[in-house]
Amino acid sequence: MMDEFSFIEKIKPKIYHQNKLIKGIGDDAAIIRMEEIDTVVAVDTFVEGIHFTKETLTPWQIGYRLLAVNLSDLAAMGATPHFYLVSIVIPDELRDADVIEIFTGMKKLANEYKIDLIGGDTVSGKSLTITITIIGSVPKHKARLRSHARPGDVVFVTGTLGGASAGLDLLLKCISIDCSEHIKEKLIRKHQLPNPRVQFAIQLQEIERIALNDISDGLANELIEIAESSKVMIEIEDDAIPLSSGLHYFPRERIDYYKYFAGEDFELVGAASKTDFVKIKEIAEQLGIAITEIGFVSYNIERNGKVFIRKNGVIQPLQKKGYVHRRSREKK
Ligand code: ADP
Ligand code: MG
């Protein structure tokens, strides 16, 4: 491993974008000054062998994807991102060039959203582990909480679902399907380079109330979180859920798993009033983002906190299976 000083010199931004920054990399801690806004902070960790392997992500993609996942958490709060910090555990066998590549992957997204790397920590250890802390802001009272859904709301999702997990299965070779290499490549890219809905979330700031979650652990899980925190019932139309293109080549039960439980697409799922949904659709359209109404929120003493799926005219409760499935796949 190159010495820590020259490493930090290499990853240190040449210019900072944010005027909220008082002191970036180079002292014992960074300093930011935030006024008249609500500060939003999130953290995520990637561990080699658990969240990625040499087969699934290149070093550049590791950096890109981890920062994308963090940005998605901020988008799900409706926040504008400003800063990030990176704590990295570097194993001896990792090449210096690969460590720099990880940071270069992050920098690609950082430049796109004009956010600044303002600090972190670097230590050596057994397995490559990277933790990103991200800092952003929302205007006062505009954070998009899970508890914000109300009876009568429209439930919607951005983009298409299932593609990222299908892509991961292709990468891990735990499934083989009969379709063109081009389609497979597109699904694999959805896993490797997720597209967080940062700009969309920022543009929504004019709207008074929206409940939002990003789909990291599967649509079922995210919807149940909204239904539970908002103490409402959610009903979803199975047919309405937009699937990533190429998914129809996969076996039927696999598609259902991708659609409801696999997650990792980092799209947004939300609930808003019918009137606000008209504005939300306009905003999505301006940004060229697909948005689909998939269901509605209602109030039912016996069913509040639960999510129901209507499929071929039959209504069934939706279970929170996402996490369990994912863990069992990771252990393989
Ligand atoms: P200290 O000994 O005060 O903790 P360090 O030597 O760990 O300082 O870090 C020096 C500077 O470099 C600090 O500003 C720190 O935030 C930054 N830094 C260290 N590691 C990283 C990293 N992996 N990513 C970004 N900044 C880092
Ligand atoms: Mg330190």
pLDDT tens digits for range 117-170: 999 999 999 999 999 999 999 999 999 999 999 999 999 999 999 999 999 999
Q: Could you tell me which residues come within 8 angstroms of residue 197 by beta carbon, excluding any fewer than 6 positions away? A: 72, 75, 158, 159, 214, 266, 267, 268, 289
Nearest residue CA, atom 7 of ligand 1? 121
Please tell me the distance between residue 296's alpha carbon and the centre of ligand 1 in angstroms.
47
Q: How far is CA 232 from CA 92, 156, 217, 264, 308, in A?
A: 51, 16, 20, 25, 11
Please tell me the distance between residue 120's alpha carbon and the centre of ligand 1 in angstroms.
5
* Strand partners of residue 309: 236, 316
* Strand partners of residue 293: 156
Amino acid 56: pLDDT: 96
- The CB-side HSE value for 283 (13 A sphere, CA atoms) comes to 17
Cα R_g (the chain), whole angstroms: 20
Ligand closest in space to the Cα of 5 = 1
Q: Is residue 225 scored above 90 in pLDDT?
A: yes
Q: Which atom of ligand 1 is nearest to the CA of 24?
A: 14
- State if residue 27 touches ligand 1 by the CB under 6 angstroms criterion: yes
DSSP string, 48-96: BTTTB-TTT--HHHHHHHHHHHHHHHHHTTTPEEEEEEEEEEE-TTS-H
For the chain, what percent of residues have pLDDT higher than 90?
90
Q: Could you give the CA distance from residue 41 to residue 62 in angstroms, rounded to a whole number?
A: 21
Q: What is the pLDDT of residues 155-187, one digit of tens each?
A: 999 999 999 999 999 999 888 899 999 999 999
Q: Could you give the CA distance from residue 133 to residue 32 in angstroms, rounded to a whole number?
A: 14
Q: Could you give the CA distance from residue 271 to residue 279 in angstroms, rounded to a whole number?
A: 13
- The CB-side HSE value for 153 (13 A sphere, CA atoms) comes to 25
Residue with tokens 């920022």: 202
- State if residue 8 touches ligand 1 by the CB under 6 angstroms criterion: yes
Given pLDDT bands bounded at 50, 70 and 90, which one contains residue 320? confident
Q: Could you give the CA distance from residue 263 to residue 101 in angstroms, rounded to a whole number?
A: 27
Q: How far is CA 60 from CA 162, 223, 261, 303, in A?
A: 23, 32, 27, 46
Amino acid 322: pLDDT: 46
- State if residue 196 touches ligand 1 by the CB under 6 angstroms criterion: no
DSSP string, 16-35: ---TTEEE-BTBSS-EE---
Q: What is the pLDDT of residues 248-271, one digit of tens each?
A: 999 999 999 999 999 899 999 999
Nearest residue CA, atom 3 of ligand 1? 28
Is the pTM higher than 0.85? The answer reads: yes
Q: What is the pLDDT of residues 38-56, one digit of tens each?
A: 999 999 999 999 999 999 9
Which run of H or of E encompasses 255? helix 252-257
- 192: three-class secondary structure by DSSP: helix
Q: Could you give the CA distance from residue 149 to residue 212 in angstroms, rounded to a whole number?
A: 9
The gap between the terminal CA atoms of the chain, to the nearest Å, is: 31
Query: Which two structure tokens, joined as six digits, stand for 102?
Result: 């990880």
**Which residue among 121, 124, 128, 131 has the greatest number of ligand 1 atoms within 8 angstroms of its CB, and so is best to mutate?**
121
What does the CA dihedral 140, 141, 143, 144 come to, rounded to 10 degrees? -150
Which run of H or of E encompasses 134? strand 129-139
Amino acid 327: pLDDT: 39
Amino acid 36: pLDDT: 86
Ligand closest in space to the Cα of 86 = 1
Q: Could you give the CA distance from residue 153 to residue 151 in angstroms, rounded to a whole number?
A: 6
Q: Could you give the CA distance from residue 188 to residue 167 in angstroms, rounded to a whole number?
A: 4
